[in-house]
Amino acid sequence: MQETISFFSGFTPNDLWFLGEAALRTLWISALSITIGTILGGVFGWMLYEGKLTAALTLAPVLDIFRSVPLIIQLVLFYNFAPIVGLDLDPFGSGVVILTIYTAALVANVARGGIEAVGKPMRRAARSLGMSYWQDMRYVVLPIGGRAVFPAWVGVALGVMKDSALVSVLGYVELLKASQILITRTQEPFLILAIAGAFYFALSFPISRYAAKLEQRWAQ
């Protein structure tokens, strides 16, 4: 009698290590995109605040597109369009580009709100003390406005970290893609997804807790 050949195998410690490596890839692509996107978003927010009508007619519509179009559509379109214009990007590179622009589009309004949160009388007082425009931005607007919008920025950062799972549609083996691979092989979806969820929690919880402690320190 012939032995039955099984194409499936149970969950092993190596699979847990595989998910751990995928979690690090998720952390890496998220940290890179959030960092660069936050810097660009701060610049865009300043342009929206200072540019007024000009920025409203040029930059604002572009940012609205990236905020409004579903992220998965942006990823697929860019990944397939990039080679046409001569950009040789792998799934990781394409994911970083789109996640960065997406983050910048979200942070732009946050940054503009932070600048607007600083009252004009306070800014006039800073200028009357002899501060230049950029000194006013650095020593008055950034500390006060940054604290005002910090919770909103944390929400954006955590959201982008979770949205990075969509890069899996391009073939980048991050946490969600790794989970799909293991589910196909082990046929244990509940166990794999529970472990993946625990990894996402382990990545997100320290950020939210540190942000909460930082806010408490600022409130004292």
In a domain, 186, yes or no: yes
Do 136 and 35 lie in one domain? The reply is yes
> Based on the domain organization, do 158 and 196 belong to the same domain?
no
At 129, which amino acid appears?
L
**Are residue 201 and residue 159 in the same domain, yes or no?**
no
Residues 144 and 76 occupy one common structural domain: yes
Q: Is 130 left (phi over 0), alpha (psi -120 to 50) or beta?
A: left
Total domain count, the chain: 2
> What is the span of the domain harbouring residue 182?
173-215
Q: Is residue 115 part of a domain?
A: yes
Contacts of 6 by beta carbon, 8 Å cutoff, 6+ apart:
none
- In order along its 220 residues, the chain shows pLDDT tens digits of 444 444 556 777 788 888 899 999 999 999 999 999 999 999 999 988 887 767 767 888 888 899 999 999 999 999 998 888 888 888 999 999 999 999 999 999 999 988 888 877 888 888 888 888 888 888 888 888 888 888 899 999 999 998 998 998 898 888 888 888 888 888 888 888 898 889 989 888 888 888 888 878 877 6
